[in-house]
Structure 1
Amino acid sequence: MLQARIADRVPGRQLALVFLDVDNFKLINDDFGHDAGNEFLKHVARGISRFCGGEDIVARVGGDEFVIALTRYAVAEMVSDVKAIMATISEPIHVHGNTMAAHVSAGIYVMSDEGATVEEALNRAEVTLYESKIDGKNRVSLFSRELDERMRNRRELEDLVQHATAIEGFELHYQPLLSAADESCVGFEALLRLRDRQGAYVPPTTFVPIAESMGLIAAIGKWGIVEAARTAATWPSDTFVSVNLSVRQFYDQTLVSTVSDALKESGLAPYRLELEVTESMLMEDTEGIAEQLRSLKALGVSVAMDDFGTGYSSLAYLWQFGFDKLKIDRSFVSALEKDEHRARQILSTIIMLAHQLGMKVTAEEIETVRQAEILCGLACDQFQGYLFGRLAPASGMTSVFASSGTSRISLENVD
């Protein structure tokens, strides 16, 4: 029937395939039961039917997935009707004394004269739906060649991340942290890296969000902790390793046991492991994360607040969580090049506050001698950045240790 409709389009009117999917439908079944879930699907069907006429075709193609063959005079009219359908479905309904509400996402593929088959058209509509899902849900997207290319690249990246997770194909590279007092190497930050199939590195800003959306970041983070501890155990005993945590690593309540096991298996002394969290993470589940951070500190590891200054920079967070270190966000360091006087005032305040609370301070992304001189004059404790050392795999650490302590610049106090 759909094939015939595509072949017999009315002149002057356009045909589109619309793929709709209920966002987080599983939660409705889990919270209210399958009978209530079936009632919600009927609600979805009624919402679709309300805006579909005799020339339109509606089909349920999956548990909570619907396809509409929509005939309209203009694309804008199609988008308007789909948005109206979505708004109607979003209205709460009452079933067996319970109030249920959910949104839907939609993808629209407008049929053209290029001769796409039904299967190809459905695939393009579904790909467009997927774009709406990853773009935040409760959205409608229109198919385009650019979108198709973007989604194809994303699927390739998803396959790459999935494969790397399965075979532990990620890498850890390390950037040195130096003492501001004498430029001796005191530790390294472990940073996740991933190669594509051609051997080039994929930017973390690209693959980390994909790993998070796929629910794989906790497994990857666990591997990172274990690998970093194993590697750091081979370094001199007066150096530490710092590992970034994702908020998702706190969700399943296994983070503390993961860290404990990694320390035992590697033989790394707890004080030589530093775990970094961001302020935005603490806003997700303050009490749940606080409890786990307290347990981690009880193991003897250090906890640092990363990117300080990008969130609320709440004094309450610093007080409540008892951090051992603050890592000043790179934006304040780079601001020294634009407005040195104002940036120095802010940096001075942050460093004094941290020291009053018994915390050390690390400045990141130091790239110039002048930045290092100013930060040293402000009593910053540790330096990190390209001025002192770039990222290197674990195999490159030997040369770093051999050269540590060699002064590159004169770190004298600056008024």
Structure 2
Amino acid sequence: MSIEPSSQFAKPRLDVRALLGLYDPADTTDWAPIRAAQLNAGGQLALFLLGANVVGAMLVALVLEPVAPLWALASWGSVVAAVAASITFRRLAARQRTAQTATLRDVRDTVLEGIALAAVWSVPPLAFGIRSDVTIAFGLWIIVSLLMTASAVAMAALPLATLVFLGILGSAVSIMLFFVGGPLMASTALLFTTLLMIGCFMRGKALVVIRAGEIALSERDETVSLLLREFEDHSADWLWETDANRRIVRASPRFAHSVGLDPLAVNGMPFLQVLAGPTWEAGNFSAALRTLAAKLKSREGFRDLLLPVEVNGKEHWWEIAANPRFDERGVFVGFRGVGSDVTEQRVSADKINRMARYDTLTGLPNRLLINEALAQAMVDADKWGSRCAFMMIDLDRFKAVNDTLGHQIGDRLLGRVSERLGQLMTDNEVIGRLGGDEFAVVIRDASDTARVEKLAQTIIDALSHPYDLDQHTLYVGASVGVATGPRDGRTAEMLIRSADLALYRSKDAGGGTFRSYEPQLHVDAEERRVLEMALRKAVQNNEMHLHYQPVVSADTGDLTGFEALLRWTHPVLGNISPVKFIPLAEDARLIAPIGEWVLRTACDEAARWSSPVRVAVNVSPDQLHNPAFVSVVASALANSGLPPERLELEVTESVFMREGTGATKVLERILDLGVRLSLDDFGTGYSSLGYLSRTRFSSIKIDRSFVQGASKGVPEAIAIIRAVVALAQSLGMATTAEGVETEEEHRMVQDLGCTKVQGYYFGRPLPVEEARAIANRNWNKAAAA
């Protein structure tokens, strides 16, 4: 008798049409129990669906009461209740009728339920929602969205009915939102509907997979049961039996075929000899065979024992299980068990194991295998009292290749990089790819520090040579961070972190070099972590405040405005320099909320000054790359009552380095508000005269480094200031010299043509009270004159 499992659900792919109930596939799969499981699952939440519809109908009536007649709402609600109740009763009845099996028609009939329910629920948005205002339409959308979500949960077991319901109702809501809120809101509703439909389909598929798994498991149990009763002949599994002396008895044809012997000849042979094959005489047994021998000797049952077996010169893998047998008097009479040839599964498992530990793009070990190799290297180093090392490698300028030539070229470049790295490795090193453009090297024996450093420099030199790909000559470099264990970390995780910190130091140095871990790096990283945690709460805890530095006319010395400067006083750490926390805020993506607080606070304060002087606020590039920043500026001006012409935003040249982010458009919209713009630190960064011509700056600020250089008589600094002043005059812009600290520097920048000056000579950054007093005193003096 041949026993072949009929279930095909172990396959990873399911026929979608069969899942939806569109047709009955012509294969060995029995879909009747699966359809029954779908209907039963739908019936389990039938009452929940009824409740959701009734509650949703009442909420819709409350929302539409101002725009719809009461009789119409009552009639519609009655229809909803009737349709929902009818569906509920049908679901409960179907659950009783189809407890074990169900037909294709049973599943198809549920589509009508979905259509009916969607039709009645489409009435409010199409009949009343289109003619209502935005508030009512959005309220109706929220209620219908909740109903759709509840229905997706309750009806997901019947995916076709649910998908029809969600598609019709979602389309109706999208039509309503199109007329009320426009295409964007309609697209949002369609996206929401699509996500619900995908989630519903995946949940319905999961139900089928679970039920299919249960059926497959049941069939397998039945198959094993039949095997144990010796009703097998040619199946993939086979029985084996031994006597008390561990010799084979009653060998089945399938077992004899599996070991490559005649069924008659195999009877009476020692079971272990049959499994050992050619190694029996030499006694060179595998560890698994020795385990089996111990189990047989101790008369102990076992299962899932994996054995390598040589059959006809080829290695096979068997999985066997057995229990000892005893007669009615309790005397041991041998073993009876079942076995399977799992060679293909073993090969597949090995392949999967390799895929799990090797990078598919480069063929190098991946992060998992690298971590395992590092952990083993640290164990060996601790065992022998030696040292190991870990290198992290990050490619320089690789992102530019991806951005300009595409990921396909980038992937091929990574392959070439991997080849070069592989050629540098010996038996003492393991090279792997961590992901992206990051690689790592595990050095098992790192006792020779000079050799480790030489390898790091060799890697940098090798990767810096040009690459020829598709008529492109590409140049990338590498930065390397090195950590030595156990000195720089007692665990693999600690050593990886130390190497990562060293890599950051290498990148900060400009790349193309290597750095070894130093304890100070951890101190710096910990300080950065503590500062970042504190910075996230600084605004909320009122630890931030502003100082205001006067800006005066170079000719008359009259006050023209203040620059708002951010200060942070931590209750424990004290005053923290902006040089530390401003870059940290930019890296941690905290600069936008902090910058908004600075803008609003400065506007509120300037609005209190009697003098109509300006207040200048520094703006981060991250803020300008967000189109919503225009609304933030408009809101700050409106809430404070500050006239737009009294606000000046200072931006640096780096804002223009990221093309395509819309920063220039944001600046133009800010200028349209009446706000003035100033280009800060001109000449120290990525200067481009094109930006000056395309953006309407009101002034250019000359960096203090040029002022100090000019005061020392440096010809280049003097020439730069003159050039900037001439450029600004030709473009109708003012020039502000920063960092003026002496009378001589004041006269110098005045002679060079600067229109405004700023620095300690005219005033340090002042607390808000002192700045307010100076502003008001300046206004009183002007009024008296």
Is the TM-score greater than 0.5? yes
Matches within 5 A, 1:289-368: 289-310=663-684, 315-339=689-713, 347=721, 350-368=724-742
| Larger mean Cα displacement after TM superposition, 84-93 or 381-390 | 84-93
Give the secondary structure class of the aligned counterpart of 1:304. strand
Q: Does 1:203 align with 2:580?
A: no
| Larger mean Cα displacement after TM superposition, 101-110 or 136-145 | 101-110
Alpha-carbon contact 1:52-1:70 (below 8 Å) kept: no
Q: Which has the higher strand share?
A: 1
Q: CA deviation at 1:259?
A: 1.5
More contact order relative to length (CA 8 Å, sep ≥ 6): 1
Provide the residue aligned with 1:97 in structure 2: none
Provide the residue aligned with 1:147 in structure 2: 521
> Please, which of 274, 289, 295 is the counterpart of residue 648 of structure 2?
274
Describe the superposition over 1:45-82 as per-residue Cα deviations: whole angstroms up to 9, x where unpaired: 77665544444456788897756243245323223434
Provide the residue aligned with 1:216 in structure 2: 590
Q: CA deviation at 1:321?
A: 1.9
Provide the residue aligned with 2:388 in structure 1: 15
Matches within 5 A, 1:18-57: 18-20=391-393, 50-56=423-429
Provide the residue aligned with 2:32 in structure 1: none
Describe the superposition over 1:16-70 as per-residue Cα deviations: whole angstroms up to 9, x where unpaired: 133456789999999989x999999988877665544444456788897756243
Matched residues in 1 for 2:505 and 2:439: separation? 15
- Which amino acid in structure 2 is aligned with residue 7 of structure 1? D
Provide the residue aligned with 1:107 in structure 2: 481
Matched residues in 2 for 1:352 and 1:32: separation? 43
Alpha-carbon contact 2:552-2:559 (below 8 Å) kept: yes
Matched residues in 1 for 2:401 and 2:415: separation? 13
Q: Which has the higher helix share?
A: 2
Alpha-carbon contact 2:390-2:441 (below 8 Å) kept: yes
Alpha-carbon contact 2:653-2:687 (below 8 Å) kept: yes
- Which amino acid in structure 2 is aligned with residue 148 of structure 1? H
Q: Alpha carbons of 1:124 and 1:393: their partners in 2 closer, same or farther (altered >3 Å)?
A: same
Matches within 5 A, 1:155-304: 155-164=529-538, 169-236=543-610, 238-285=612-659, 288-304=662-678
Alpha-carbon contact 1:29-1:37 (below 8 Å) kept: yes
Matched residues in 2 for 1:41 and 1:143: separation? 26
Alpha-carbon contact 2:478-2:511 (below 8 Å) kept: yes
Give the secondary structure class of the aligned counterpart of 1:362. strand
Matched residues in 1 for 2:721 and 2:487: separation? 61
Matched residues in 2 for 1:56 and 1:380: separation? 62
Alpha-carbon contact 2:624-2:667 (below 8 Å) kept: no
Unpaired runs of 5+ in structure 2?
1-375
Provide the residue aligned with 1:68 in structure 2: 442
Provide the residue aligned with 1:5 in structure 2: 380
Matched residues in 2 for 1:65 and 1:2: separation? 18
Alpha-carbon contact 2:549-2:562 (below 8 Å) kept: yes
Give the secondary structure class of the aligned counterpart of 2:740. coil
Q: Alpha carbons of 1:287 and 1:354: their partners in 2 closer, same or farther (altered >3 Å)?
A: farther
Matched residues in 1 for 2:488 and 2:681: separation? 50
Matches within 5 A, 1:376-415: 376=750, 380-404=754-778
Alpha-carbon contact 1:329-1:363 (below 8 Å) kept: yes
Q: Alpha carbons of 1:258 and 1:125: their partners in 2 closer, same or farther (altered >3 Å)?
A: same
Alpha-carbon contact 2:429-2:441 (below 8 Å) kept: no
Q: CA deviation at 1:274?
A: 0.4
Matched residues in 1 for 2:446 and 2:380: separation? 13
Q: CA deviation at 1:284?
A: 4.3
Matched residues in 1 for 2:429 and 2:694: separation? 59
Matched residues in 2 for 1:55 and 1:382: separation? 65
- Which amino acid in structure 2 is aligned with residue 18 of structure 1? M
Matched residues in 2 for 1:287 and 1:26: separation? 17
Give the secondary structure class of the aligned counterpart of 1:219. helix
Give the secondary structure class of the aligned counterpart of 1:323. coil
Based on CA coordinates, which of the two structures has the bigger radius of gyration?
Answer: 2
Q: Alpha carbons of 1:210 and 1:135: their partners in 2 closer, same or farther (altered >3 Å)?
A: farther
- Which amino acid in structure 2 is aligned with residue 6 of structure 1? A
Give the secondary structure class of the aligned counterpart of 1:358. coil
Give the secondary structure class of the aligned counterpart of 2:445. strand
Q: TM-score, normalised by structure 2?
A: 0.44
Describe the superposition over 1:206-225 as per-residue Cα deviations: whole angstroms up to 9, x where unpaired: 22222223333333323322
Provide the residue aligned with 1:410 in structure 2: none
Alpha-carbon contact 2:479-2:512 (below 8 Å) kept: yes
Give the secondary structure class of the aligned counterpart of 1:183. coil
Q: Alpha carbons of 1:65 and 1:366: their partners in 2 closer, same or farther (altered >3 Å)?
A: same
Matched residues in 2 for 1:49 and 1:347: separation? 53
- Which amino acid in structure 1 is aligned with residue 612 of structure 2? D
Matched residues in 1 for 2:489 and 2:730: separation? 71
Alpha-carbon contact 2:506-2:515 (below 8 Å) kept: yes
Give the secondary structure class of the aligned counterpart of 1:210. helix
Q: CA deviation at 1:227?
A: 2.2
Q: CA deviation at 1:393?
A: 2.8
- Which amino acid in structure 2 is aligned with residue 299 of structure 1? L
Provide the residue aligned with 1:77 in structure 2: 451
Q: Alpha carbons of 1:126 and 1:321: their partners in 2 closer, same or farther (altered >3 Å)?
A: closer
Give the secondary structure class of the aligned counterpart of 2:667. helix
Alpha-carbon contact 1:70-1:78 (below 8 Å) kept: no
Alpha-carbon contact 2:378-2:486 (below 8 Å) kept: no
Q: Alpha carbons of 1:152 and 1:93: their partners in 2 closer, same or farther (altered >3 Å)?
A: farther
Describe the superposition over 1:335-372 as per-residue Cα deviations: whole angstroms up to 9, x where unpaired: 45322998777645543542342222222222122333
Q: CA deviation at 1:301?
A: 0.4
Q: Alpha carbons of 1:59 and 1:4: their partners in 2 closer, same or farther (altered >3 Å)?
A: farther
| Larger mean Cα displacement after TM superposition, 47-56 or 68-77 | 47-56
Matched residues in 2 for 1:350 and 1:27: separation? 32
Alpha-carbon contact 1:183-1:406 (below 8 Å) kept: no
Provide the residue aligned with 1:131 in structure 2: 505
Give the secondary structure class of the aligned counterpart of 2:388. strand
Q: CA deviation at 1:272?
A: 0.8
| Larger mean Cα displacement after TM superposition, 16-25 or 236-245 | 16-25
- Which amino acid in structure 1 is aligned with residue 391 of structure 2? V
Q: CA deviation at 1:391?
A: 0.7
Q: TM-score, normalised by structure 1?
A: 0.76
**What do you get for the CA RMSD once the two structures are aligned?**
4.4
Give the secondary structure class of the aligned counterpart of 1:159. helix
Describe the superposition over 1:296-353 as per-residue Cα deviations: whole angstroms up to 9, x where unpaired: 1111000112223435765544333222112222234334532299877764554354
Q: CA deviation at 1:202?
A: 2.4
Matched residues in 2 for 1:155 and 1:167: separation? 18
